[in-house]
Amino acid sequence: MGVMKNHLVGDLIVGCLCLFLILCCMADDHYYDFYVTEKNITNPCASKNFALVVERVPGQTIHVHRGDTAFINVHNNGTYGITIHWHGVKQPRNPWSDGPAYVTQCPIKPGKNFTYEVLFSEEEGTLWWHAHSGWSRATVHGAIAVLPHKDTPFPFDPQPYKEHVIVLGEWFSGNMTEFFDTEEKRHTRTSLSDAYTINGLFNCTADEGYRLVVESGRTYLLRIVGASMDHEMFFAVADHNLTVVGQDGSYVKPITTTYIMITPGQTFDILLTADQLPSCYYMAVGPYNDGGNHAQRNSSIATAILQYKSTSCPPIIPFPNQLPKVADTVSAKNFTDQIKSRDSVNLPEKPDDKIFIAVAVSHQLICGKVHASLNNISFVHPKIDILQAYHRSLPNIYETDFPHQPASTTLNFTGDDSLKFEFPILGTKILMIEYNRSVEIVFQGTNLGAENHPMHLHGYSFYVVATGDGNFNETEYKNNLNLIDPPYLNTVGVPRNGWVAIRFVANNPGVWFMHCHLERHAMWGMDTAFIVTNGITENQSIREPPNGLPECSSSYNTTTSNFDADENTELEDATPLEKWSGIISSWNVICFTLLITVFSFIYVFIR
């Protein structure tokens, strides 16, 4: 009898536990349709004739719980090829839905559609989505809100009363899609944006722009997205403190601050309590650039308004004086250095593999083009995506000899030796990583194009274990090493003339892009990709390709390993005529004429 009872109790407990697990941890599927169209968009201060958008700028926010799946059917109703990337979503075993053009897929052609299966796993917090073909992400982007498991509170207090998305972007009055459509244009200096934006808007007077209405005494969760194209940003709200609780879809030890610094690609979860005199307050965003050339960059500031309910604006709109100035590296560093993961991770002392990557931008030489490089390799996008080439074993699409370190690791990178990176090799060179290896990458900034480079890795988050000024050095590395609670990010700023070390375990097989998230640098070639090989079991291997993957324009002949025809239906490819007219373009003509004139003068003079 007693035994029976024990059995019953036991079964009951097991049953309850199962029910609890099912209820609490059941993952949901979500379905979205994104229609990419071209339309005229306007701002209170400026109208724009043409932009590629998903409805509006920013586009809609995707809402999921931890571990859910989102099926997003992207319909291309525009006239250019497009892809969309789910920035910071690891997509376990599913690089097919990651999105970077010519890395994991070819663009979705006009009139076609493709359903991305976006797999959430350990992410929790704010992430975002954006176009990943050409410069279209300037207007094609939006936030992703990943809530904790159903019926689970946020792991911080107070629980927010409401949440709001704040996307920090950049406004270009030109047509971004056509701006950089030929190889020739892609390697010239880019023009500046016209303004910075908060939720797509910027203001000429206090009445315009984005307005966030709050109730006095309440706490709000702000989901902040760094969607700017080419600038790191400072953000502040006048007279209010910000409490940072998460970054890049992972929780951090709460930090109370009066401003944040956010690089393109990064996201923050921030608590703001409406605890000031009911009134109107400015929120402001301005650039951070420590490259010394900030005078040449867009140094304007955009504002929005935080308005307490049932007050009207004005009377008081104080400007956030705590917003650091454009070249304020001390403030940028003071903020970044405070960030630590909420939970302890205790990483192993030594990684399996070490990779050292020197990051450089070579300046425009006489008659030359601008190139950016990683270990002296300037990345060239192939005509067929690397993932497909890898899956089908197509030769001649990419090479696997991306160097594990530059010619030497003891160069004076931040000094004269940086000139060794002035003439990078062009190629589609990628790096093979064996499944489950623990990898450490040291990114070393150089004196070429010295400024912060926000390096972003697809398919993973990584621990930022150490950082330092100047050339990498072992002693400084050992002294600074944080293996306990390092920040867990997907985008990290490599400091100007400094270095940063990151760690991850290669447990997500696939083809994963890695690049600088300053769009001009990515365009100039500061990119590479990792192929993480399959493990032994099916659960450790890349999934089978989904149906309906976009076709590539170039058809690849498997017998000759060559391209049959190049239809050039995509924006990415220039026609031969365009290419030649590009080469004989104004800059080259002026440059050659100047050179010939100079040499003629020298010749006449010597004679």
H or E element that contains 527 = strand 527-532
Strand partners, 54: 36, 56
Cα(305)–Cα(309) distance, integer angstroms = 12
By CB under 5 A, residue 231 contacts Cu ion: no
Nearer to Cu ion, 168 or 526 (CB): 526
C-alpha closest to that of 118 among 66, 64, 69, 82: 69
Strand, helix or coil for residue 136 = helix
| Site track for ligand C2O across 129-168, x = CB under 6 A | -x-x------------------------------------
**Among the listed residues 458, 496, 503, 521, the single contact to ligand C2O using CB under 6 A:** 458
| Site track for ligand C2O across 68-107, x = CB under 6 A | -----------------x-x------------x-------
174, HSE (Cβ side, Cα atoms, 13 Å)? 10
Tokens 């991306």 found at: 402
CB of 298 to Cu ion, least distance (A): 17
Cα(324)–Cα(402) distance, integer angstroms = 39
CB of 522 to Cu ion, least distance (A): 8
Nearer to ligand C2O, 231 or 456 (CB): 456
Nearer to ligand C2O, 65 or 132 (CB): 132
503 binds, among Cu ion, ligand C2O, none (CB under 5 to 8 A by kind): none
516 binds, among Cu ion, ligand C2O, none (CB under 5 to 8 A by kind): Cu ion
456 binds, among ligand C2O, Cu ion, none (CB under 5 to 8 A by kind): ligand C2O
Chain centroid to CA 286 = 19
H or E element that contains 389 = helix 386-391
458 binds, among Cu ion, ligand C2O, none (CB under 5 to 8 A by kind): ligand C2O
CB of 429 to ligand C2O, least distance (A): 17
CB of 445 to Cu ion, least distance (A): 9
Cα(170)–Cα(231) distance, integer angstroms = 9
The window from 244-252, 326-334, 520-528, 534-542 that contacts Cu ion (CB under 5 A) reads 520-528
Nearer to ligand C2O, 456 or 503 (CB): 456
CB of 160 to Cu ion, least distance (A): 34
The window from 46-54, 476-484, 510-518, 580-588 that contacts ligand C2O (CB under 6 A) reads 510-518
H or E element that contains 17 = helix 2-25
Do the Cβ atoms of 102 and 385 come closer than 8 Å? yes
Tokens 């093979």 found at: 432
**Among the listed residues 223, 371, 456, 496, the single contact to ligand C2O using CB under 6 A:** 456
Nearer to Cu ion, 162 or 189 (CB): 189
Chain centroid to CA 39 = 25
Nearer to ligand C2O, 58 or 468 (CB): 58
Cα(138)–Cα(188) distance, integer angstroms = 19
Task: Tally the residues of the chain.
Answer: 607
Nearer to Cu ion, 258 or 418 (CB): 418
Q: Which residues contact 225 (CB under 8 A, 6 or more apart)?
A: 58, 126, 128, 141, 143, 165, 166, 167, 168, 267
521 binds, among Cu ion, ligand C2O, none (CB under 5 to 8 A by kind): Cu ion
Instruction: Name residue 567's amino acid.
Output: E
* Strands (DSSP E) found in 93-218: 113-119, 125-131, 141-147, 162-171, 195-198, 211-214
Write the DSSP symbol of residue 16.
Answer: H
Instruction: Name residue 525's amino acid.
Output: G
Q: Give residue number: closest CB to ligand C2O.
A: 87
CB of 27 to ligand C2O, least distance (A): 24
Label residues 376-409 b or e (16+ Cβ within 10 Å = b). Answer: bbbbebbbbbbbbbbeeebeebbeeebbeebeee
513 binds, among ligand C2O, Cu ion, none (CB under 5 to 8 A by kind): ligand C2O
Cα(238)–Cα(98) distance, integer angstroms = 38
383 binds, among Cu ion, ligand C2O, none (CB under 5 to 8 A by kind): none
453 binds, among ligand C2O, Cu ion, none (CB under 5 to 8 A by kind): Cu ion
Cα(484)–Cα(341) distance, integer angstroms = 9
Q: Which residues contact 436 (CB under 8 A, 6 or more apart)?
A: 505, 506, 507, 535, 540
**Among the listed residues 176, 195, 236, 518, the single contact to Cu ion using CB under 5 A:** 518
The window from 48-56, 417-425, 451-459, 460-468 that contacts Cu ion (CB under 5 A) reads 451-459
Distances (CA, A) of 569 to 81, 97, 176, 554: 8, 22, 18, 9
| Dihedral pair phi/psi, residue 598, rounded to 5° | -60, -45
100 binds, among ligand C2O, Cu ion, none (CB under 5 to 8 A by kind): ligand C2O
Helices (H), 241-298: none
CB of 526 to ligand C2O, least distance (A): 11
Nearer to Cu ion, 52 or 358 (CB): 358
By CB under 6 A, residue 383 contacts ligand C2O: no
Nearer to ligand C2O, 145 or 238 (CB): 145
CB of 87 to Cu ion, least distance (A): 16
Instruction: Name residue 498's amino acid.
Output: G
Tokens of 578: 């365009």
Nearer to ligand C2O, 61 or 273 (CB): 61
Cα(555)–Cα(19) distance, integer angstroms = 52
Do the Cβ atoms of 192 and 298 come closer than 8 Å? yes
Nearer to ligand C2O, 131 or 274 (CB): 131
CA 206, 207, 211, 216 torsion-angle sign: positive
By CB under 5 A, residue 262 contacts Cu ion: no
By CB under 5 A, residue 516 contacts Cu ion: yes
CB of 464 to Cu ion, least distance (A): 17
518 binds, among ligand C2O, Cu ion, none (CB under 5 to 8 A by kind): Cu ion
Residues in 249-268 at the binding interface with ligand C2O, rule: CB under 6 A: 265
CB of 456 to ligand C2O, least distance (A): 5
Q: Which residues bind Cu ion (CB under 5 A)?
A: 453, 516, 518, 521
Q: Which residues bind ligand C2O (CB under 6 A)?
A: 85, 87, 100, 130, 132, 265, 456, 458, 513, 515, 517
